[in-house]
Amino acid sequence: MANAPAAPSSVPKEHGRYPYSPIVDRPPLRWPNDARVAVWVIPNIEHFLFDRPATRNTDGTLGLNPDVLNYSWRDYGVRVGIWRMMEVMEKHGFKGTVALNSDVCTHYPRIIQEGNKLGWEWMGHGRTNSELISKQSEDEERTLIREVVGTITKHAGKAPRGWLSPALSETVNTLDILAENGIEYVGNWVNDEQPYPMNVKKGSMIAMPYSSELNDIPAMLGHHRSGEEFAQMICDQFDVLYEDGRKSGRVMSICLHPFLTGVPHRSKYFDQALAHIRSRQEVWITTGSAIVDHYKTNYLK
């Protein structure tokens, strides 16, 4: 009998990073003190290059270089918005797990100083948000990740344990290179409500639940939700996860950018949403690393 013909080259290769795991078939997951939901808040604190287009408030000046209107709109986040967000989060006892462009360390060191004072955690988030990981060669990516980890370690006083790529971009090598550089968890894969292990060549990697929907950029800029509507999304997401968490613990991420959520007319509703979460008893307000530590200790053997 003749051998079967080889699959055509056009057939896409599967990624091989994890097996399929329906949540209904998993053993129950329990958080500390029988909390139903582990909530982590991820402020994305970023640096943007002056001569390149990026996240924008208006298309009217998109063809201009420099685009002063959109650049300065983003720059509001590190000058004003992040300080308002810090105040609101501290009021309700939330510590940020920051997705941090490493250039923030040198351009805005005051933010690092205050975040350390508040006990915030720092995740790697590339060098700037003007450079996407998917456009890097393997050597370029390896150099970039090593530099990002080194810069954050030097300026924040502790090596980052987590990673979120700019625009959640990856190459086929990203997870392996991250593991090589001591990164333990990644938020790029937005496909679950519980942590899970990923396959890497050396070491280990945990996928942490991060949301592409409960995220102020797609909600406000893509779907034109108001600050009030976004806060209602946060409350609705929490309420459903809180009920689901009776059977098995869930993770809720709140993904934010200070040039959006740190604006006054949105910040008041962010305040209300955090108060709503705090009004429930069986909640674990925590950080990315604490979630990963609990998961590794109790569910990875």
- Note the pLDDT of residue 53: 86
Residues 52/129, Cβ–Cβ less than 8 Å? no
- Which domains can be identified in the chain, with CATH numbers? 29-299 (3.20.20.370)
pLDDT surpassing 80 at residue 97: yes
The predicted-structure confidence for 189-236, as pLDDT tens digits, reads as follows: 999 999 999 999 999 999 999 999 999 999 999 999 999 999 999 999
Pairwise pLDDT comparison (135 vs 201), residue with the higher score: 201
Read off the tokens for 95.
């510590």
What DSSP assignment string belongs to 4-19? PPPPPTTSPPP--SS-
pLDDT surpassing 80 at residue 125: yes
| Pair type for strands 205-207 and 196-198 | antiparallel
Could you give the CA distance from residue 34 to residue 222 in angstroms, rounded to a whole number? 36
The predicted-structure confidence for 18-51, as pLDDT tens digits, reads as follows: 999 999 999 999 999 999 999 999 999 999 999 9
Phi, psi of 282 (to 5 degrees): -90, 60
Q: What is the mean pLDDT of residues 171-191?
A: 98
pLDDT surpassing 80 at residue 186: yes
- Note the pLDDT of residue 12: 63
> What is the reported pTM?
0.94
- Note the pLDDT of residue 63: 85
Q: What is the mean pLDDT of residues 88-111?
A: 98
